[in-house]
Every structure is written in C-alpha cells, then in structure tokens.
Amino acid sequence: MPSIPQPLVPDDDGSADASVTSALTAFAAGTAEAGEVITALGGARLLVPVVALLTESEVGEHGLKQEKESEMALPKLVGNDGREAVPAFTGVEALGLWRPDARPIQATTLQVCQAAVHEGVAAVVIDVAGPVPFVIEGALLRAFAAVESGTVDRLGPEVTVVRMEEEPAPPSRRRRFGLPFRR
C-alpha cells in the first residue's frame, strides 16, 4: 500500500518565502536580474497544485448529475504555441489567485524542475496568476533537474554547472549572474 510522504516543512503555513518574494518583486520592478530570482528559487519550497478530476458521474435520485468517482491530478498549462508547462506557486495566496480549489503539495524548486523534465514539458511557470509570474525553461530547467537527480554530467554544452566553496563576499561586493531564460 502506498504511503503518504512526509511534508518537506511540517509546520509550513503556506506563506511565500520572503527571499523569493523579494527577488520576484525586484525583478518585476527592474531593479534585479533574473539570476537573483534563480538564486532565491534554488533552495526554495514551492507548492505544486493538485486538483480533483471527475472520472465517472451518475444521475442521482433527484435527476441531477453527480460525482461517482474522481482522481487527483497534477494540472498542466498549455501555451498559445502548444507547449506545456507545470505550474508551481510560491505560496497559498498565489495558488488561490490561480485556482482556489487546488490543493498544495510541497516540493523544492529542483524537484519541480525534475518532474517537469520527466513529464516532457517545456517549462515551469511560477505564480502564473501573479503577483509576479516567472518562467524556468530551456537549459536552466534541465540544469535544475539534473542537480536534483544527480545527473549533472549529462547536460549539454550550453550549460555549465559549477560548485564552488568560497568565503562570503564583503557587503560592498555585489555579483550578478546572467542566465538564459525568457519571461
């Protein structure tokens, strides 16, 4: 019999991570680059929506159609160009803006990206209904998935993953990274 997985953060109240919210807000205002959002998302907890999907209905004693069976499903987004994406959310408020009946499942950004690659979708869309949507796709999506699965050596030549250990930079020194992605 399948077991119910333990939550990543047992006392999670569903709030968005402050560093992710701050990075997304700064990115939307034009005061931060995508790399800062990516850095904040790298270790963040996201919420993946699960929705009830009617699989069988019947007509009840009052002549009304009613649910007989349903399953829980992970919805996908489909863009105007036909590409599919997995939605993920920074918190329950952003999830509720998109679909109030969805139920949240905790996952790390890396886990969501790994699942997206496994499902063969083109992107992960963070907070699709706002407050600040953000897209992870292409080489970055594959890199995040590879880090989670431990298959970093299978990335293409367009992606470089580096693990460095260094002393924390002095407060006056600021580094920015440019990473490929489209919004």
Task: Classify domain 45-154 by CATH number.
Answer: 3.40.1350
Domain boundaries, the chain: 45-154
The neighbour count for residue 158, using CB atoms within 10 Å, is 10
State yes or no: pLDDT of 177 exceeds 80.
no
Place of tokens 């998109």: 98
The neighbour count for residue 87, using CB atoms within 10 Å, is 26
The pTM assigned to this predicted structure is: 0.73
- Quote the pLDDT of residue 172: 37
Question: What are the tens digits of pLDDT across the range 126-156?
Answer: 999 999 999 999 999 998 988 876 665 555 5
- Quote the pLDDT of residue 131: 94
Question: What are the tens digits of pLDDT across the range 108-128?
Answer: 999 999 999 999 999 999 999
State yes or no: pLDDT of 59 exceeds 90.
no
Minimal CA–CA distance to 47: which of 5, 131, 108?
108
For 11-50, the three-class secondary structure string (H helix, E strand, C coil) is CCCCCCCHHHHHHHHHHHHCCCCHHHHHHHHHCCEEEEEE
Minimal CA–CA distance to 53: which of 75, 35, 31, 85?
75
Question: What are the tens digits of pLDDT across the range 2-25?
Answer: 555 566 777 889 999 999 999 999
- Quote the pLDDT of residue 136: 95
